[in-house]
């Protein structure tokens, strides 16, 4: 049996130290050495199903844990059984016979649920392939990042869950292989994984972003594109107010021409100091995609500008010295992010995976976000910065851009999205300032959603209001997959129950 | 001569405060391409200015068959105060590590 118990009941703390499971019993799901991936995941899925039955018999809730990355505490469940999946991390290439006619098997990979985004990226690059987007960090499991709608700032792409073409979910009632109506994998392949095929567009859209509430995801079929190079440009520039109108209109070329290269960017990100956002220089990051070539000069992740996701230092100073927040944040922006390469520096290149980093939190993290319609950016952004600064928010504010993401519960649900992140050191004052931002957007009538993995203070009523019909469809899919309320409760936790996802 | 006394006292305080602050620095060593599992930690107390060391628990980690991924070495505020108060005779430090999940070769589905 590939599940082993890790010690006795105790405490477990998540990756960013934002939550603790008390009196939790830890188990680990491990990869085996089966020759074929389908055999391996069949064995694992059966073990997980038996484990779920044992947990139910012991009247304990369960929680699958990947990297334990989410600061929103969707990974926290006390007095429960925790299933660590990080050692269940093999990846497998597909054969032409494994897929349905018309599907390009060479673009797909079978991925066990514990594989990190970094591992998936590396394995694709071995095959001349690449992910087309991902979050700022690559230390989450691919399944976990997808389950919460993680995203980056590739302006023509959605979330990381858009890569998923099929997935295996284990519940006490069965082992299901979920795909869209059109199907992806051959019937023989699905049968060999020990799963029952469930081809349904609605179910698939629910399972692409399950927020850990639909069962235990054991395997994914992940799509890719041919490998490509990116050239990063990263600089500190004072940004003109008018530039927000260009961004709101999607004129990224004009923004790039003004602050970096006069060509179409594929990735645009702006990190600003909310204290005088247009008077102090903002940290700008652009990526320009180029065709792959083997002879590019290799650069380190730091030279490629990796690690741009959060400032995790200076928290106490920012909290204790409110009069100095503006200059301190500006200092932190200069020190905390990789500098350059600017437009006049020798160009550096890297693959998509080489430009990501597994950051290591050394201080308590606060992160939250709002996703708005990109068209609202100009009228929303200054208000957000003003409210956040006035109430003592002590993080930088980051703007990222993406298209509508797949999955019924994808926060990026507008056709074009601007995602505004508040990432930095944790303090109660910052959390309160973020709450004032939420109130301000509501008062202004600006529609927005919030990230499942971040500290966004959602509740069931708000989730239902934000996602409307899509939430009803998601719950209908959940009830079809988990018709027994006792099975839904098995995957519940205080946080997930409060979000209306498991009860 | 009074000023000299104050100057020496200030210098002594600055030396101690510097040690107190620097001792809490986080020394972090990682392998390339890390695949980390959960962090575990223990406290090691150096006694007699380093002549002897005693860990609160033996160095065991349940899933270390692929080696360690990274190691951190740091002292908490309380540990630094203990070190200063005992003139360095006791020097507790925290060692934190994460085991490596391992990098497995690409297989066939």
CB-CB neighbors (< 8 A) of B30 in chain A: 360
In chain B, the largest separation of any two C-alpha atoms, in whole Å, equals: 83
C-alpha dist (Å) from residue A381 to A158, A276, A437: 21, 12, 10
Residues A278 and A404 in one domain: yes
A122 contact residues in B (CB cutoff 8 A)? 33, 103
Is A454 contained in some domain?
A: no
Neighbouring-strand partners of residue A405: none
CATH of the domain at A253: 3.40.462.10
Tokens at A484, concatenated: 């027994």
In a domain, A424, yes or no: yes
Answer yes or no: is A328 within a domain.
yes
Distance from CA of A338 to the nearest CA of B (A): 18
- Using the predicted structure, report yes or no on whether residue A466 has a pLDDT greater than 50: yes
Cβ of B109 and A36 within 8 Å?
yes
Which CATH number is A18's domain given? Answer: 3.30.465.10
* The pLDDT of residue A309: 43
Q: Residues A195, A325: one domain?
A: no
What percentage of residues in chain B have a pLDDT greater than 70?
A: 93
Q: Do residue A197 and residue A121 come from a single domain?
A: yes
Does residue A221 sit in the same domain as residue A234?
no
Please name the residues between 173 and 202 in chain A that touch chain B, using a CB distance below 8 Å: 189
Which residues of chain A make contact with B35, given a CB cutoff of 8 A? Answer: 86, 89, 116, 118-119
pLDDT at position A209:
97
* Percent of chain A scoring above 70 in pLDDT: 91
Q: Is residue A185 part of a domain?
A: yes
ipTM of the complex model: 0.80
CA dihedral A76, A82, A83, A86 (to 10 degrees): 50
What residues in A contact B109, CB-CB < 8 Å? 36-38, 92-95, 98, 110, 189
Q: Which residues of B touch A (CB under 8 A)?
A: 26, 28, 30, 33-38, 62-63, 70, 101-104, 106-109
The mean per-residue pLDDT over the stretch A187-192 comes to 97
Convert the pLDDT of each residue in B43-69 to its tens digit. 999 999 888 877 766 666 767 888 898
Which residues of chain A are within 8 Å of residue B57 when distances are taken between CB atoms? none
Whether A362 and B28 lie within 8 Å, measured CB to CB: yes
- For residues A463 and A471, give the distance between their C-alpha atoms in angstroms, rounded to a whole number: 8
Q: Does any domain span residue A459?
A: no
Q: Which of A35-39, A164-168, B27-31 has the least mean pLDDT?
A: B27-31
> Looking at the partner chain, which of B34, B62, B104 has a beta carbon nearest the beta carbon of A7?
B62
Q: Assess whether A194 and A340 both reside in one domain.
A: no
Stretch A295-301: mean pLDDT, rounded? 79
What is the model's pLDDT at position A339?
A: 64
Looking at chain A from residue 60 to 89, which residues have their Cβ under 8 Å from any Cβ of chain B?
67-68, 84, 86-87, 89
In A, residues 137-166, which contact B (CB 8 Å cutoff)?
139
* CB-closest option in A67, A84, A92 to B109: A92
Last residue of a domain, one of A408, A430, A449: A449
B62 CB neighbours in chain A (<8 A) are 6-7
Q: How far apart are the C-alpha atoms of A268 and A287, rounded to whole Å? A: 7
Q: Do A205 and A253 lie in a common domain? A: no
| Residue A45 in tokens | 């899925």
pLDDT band at A310 (very low <50, low <70, confident <90, very high): very low
What pLDDT sits at residue B40?
86
Residue of B nearest to A221 (CA): B109
What does the angle CA A232 – CA A233 – CA A239 come to, to the nearest 5 degrees? 140
Range of the domain at A165: 3-226+476-498
pLDDT digits (tens, 9 = 90+) for A352-409: 877 776 666 555 678 899 999 999 999 999 999 999 999 988 888 999 999 999 999 9
Question: Taking Cα atoms as reference points, which of A91, A96, A129 lies closest to residue A110?
Answer: A91
Task: Report which of A110, A26, A122, A32 is spatially closest to residue A68, judged by C-alpha positions.
Answer: A26
Asked whether the beta carbons of residue B33 and residue A110 sit closer than 8 angstroms, the reply is: no
What are the CA-CA distances from residue B29 to residues A38, A140, A282, B68, B109 (Å)? 37, 20, 31, 10, 35
* Rounded (10°) CA dihedral A399, A403, A405, A411: 40
CB contact under 8 A, A93 and B109: yes
Is A254 within 8 Å of chain B by CB?
no
Please answer yes or no on whether A89 and B104 come within 8 Å at the CB atom: yes
pLDDT in tens, A272-290: 999 889 998 999 999 999 9
The answer as to whether A465 is a domain residue is no
- Percent of chain A residues topping a pLDDT of 90: 71
Number of structural domains, chain A? 2
Same domain assignment for residues A80 and A206: yes
Residues A195, A260 share a domain: no
Verify that A102 and A154 share a domain, yes or no: yes
Question: A2 or A167: whose pLDDT is higher?
Answer: A167
Indicate whether A107 and A186 sit together in one domain.
yes
Residues A314 and A422: their CA atoms lie apart, in Å, by 15
**A277 to chain B nearest CA, in Å?**
32
Contact between chains at B35 and A118 (C-beta distance less than 8 A): yes
User: Looking at the domain assignment, is residue A301 inside a domain?
Assistant: yes
CA nearest B72 in A: which residue? A362
Q: What are phi and psi of A187, to 5 degrees?
A: -60, -35
Is residue A249 located within the same domain as residue A201?
no
A387 and A297 share one domain:
yes
Whether A469 is covered by a domain: the verdict is: no
First to last CA, chain A: 31
């Amino acid at each position: 049996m590939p599940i082993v118990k890790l010690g006795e009941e105790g405490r477990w703390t998540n990756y960013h130290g934002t939550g603790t499971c008390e009196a939790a019993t830890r188990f680990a799901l491990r990869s085996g050495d089966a020759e074929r991936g389908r055999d391996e995941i069949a064995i694992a899925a059966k073990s997980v199903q038996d484990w779920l039955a044992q947990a139910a018999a012991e009247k304990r809730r369960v929680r699958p844990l990947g990297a334990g990355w989410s600061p929103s505490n969707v990974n926290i469940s006390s007095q429960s059984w925790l299933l660590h999946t990080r050692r269940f991390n093999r990846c497998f290439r597909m054969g032409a016979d494994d897929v349905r006619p018309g599907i390009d098997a060479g673009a797909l990979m079978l991925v066990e649920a514990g594989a990190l985004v970094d591992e998936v990226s590396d394995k694709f690059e071995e095959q001349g392939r690449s992910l087309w987007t991902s979050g700022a960090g690559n230390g989450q499991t691919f399944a976990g990042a997808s389950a919460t709608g993680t995203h980056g700032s590739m302006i023509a792409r959605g979330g990381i869950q858009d890569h998923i073409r099929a997935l295996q979910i284990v519940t006490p009632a069965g082992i299901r292989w979920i795909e869209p109506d059109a199907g992806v994998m051959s019937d023989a392949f699905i049968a060999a994984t020990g799963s029952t095929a469930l081809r349904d567009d609605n179910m698939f859209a629910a399972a692409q972003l399950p927020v850990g509430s639909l069962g235990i995801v054991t395997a994914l079929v992940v799509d890719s594109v041919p490998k490509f190079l990116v050239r990063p440009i990263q600089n500190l520039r004072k940004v003109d107010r008018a530039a927000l109108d260009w961004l709101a209109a999607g004129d990224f070329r004009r923004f790039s021409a003004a602050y970096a290269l006069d060509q179409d960017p594929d990735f645009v990100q702006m990190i600003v100091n909310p204290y005088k956002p247009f008077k102090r220089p903002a940290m700008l990051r652009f990526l320009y995609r180029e065709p792959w070539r083997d002879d590019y000069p290799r650069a380190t992740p730091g030279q490629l500008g990796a690690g741009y996701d959060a400032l995790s230092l200076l928290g106490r100073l920012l909290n204790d010295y409110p009069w100095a927040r503006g200059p301190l944040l500006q200092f932190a922006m200069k020190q905390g992010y990789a500098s350059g390469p600017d437009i006049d520096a020798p160009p550096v290149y890297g693959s998509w995976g080489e430009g990501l980093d597994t950051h290591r939190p050394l201080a308590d993290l606060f992160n939250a976000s709002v996703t708005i319609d990109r068209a609202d950016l100009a009228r929303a952004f200054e208000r957000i910065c003003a409210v956040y600064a006035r109430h003592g928010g002590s993080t930088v504010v980051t703007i990222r851009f993406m298209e509508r993401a797949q999955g019924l519960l994808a926060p990026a649900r507008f056709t074009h999205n601007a995602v505004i992140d508040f990432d930095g050191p944790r303090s109660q004052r910052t959390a309160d300032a973020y709450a004032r931002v939420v109130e301000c957007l509501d008062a202004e009538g600006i529609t927005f959603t919030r990230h499942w993995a971040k500290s966004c203070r959602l509740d069931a009523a708000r989730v239902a209001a934000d996602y409307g019909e899509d939430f009803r469809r998601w719950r209908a899919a959940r009830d079809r997959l988990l018709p027994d309320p006792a099975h839904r409760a098995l995957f519940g936790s205080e946080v997930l129950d409060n979000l209306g996802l498991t009860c | 001569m009074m000023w000299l006394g104050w100057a020496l006292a200030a210098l002594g305080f600055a030396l101690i405060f510097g040690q107190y602050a620097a001792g809490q620095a986080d020394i972090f060593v990682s392998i390339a391409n890390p695949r980390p599992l959960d962090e575990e930690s223990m406290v090691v107390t150096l006694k007699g200015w380093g002549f002897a060391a005693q860990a609160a628990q033996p160095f065991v980690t349940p899933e270390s068959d692929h080696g360690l991924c990274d190691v951190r070495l740091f002292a908490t505020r309380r540990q630094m105060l203990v070190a200063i108060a005992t003139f360095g005779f006791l020097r507790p430090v925290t060692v934190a590590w994460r085991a490596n999940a391992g990098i497995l070769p690409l297989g066939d589905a």
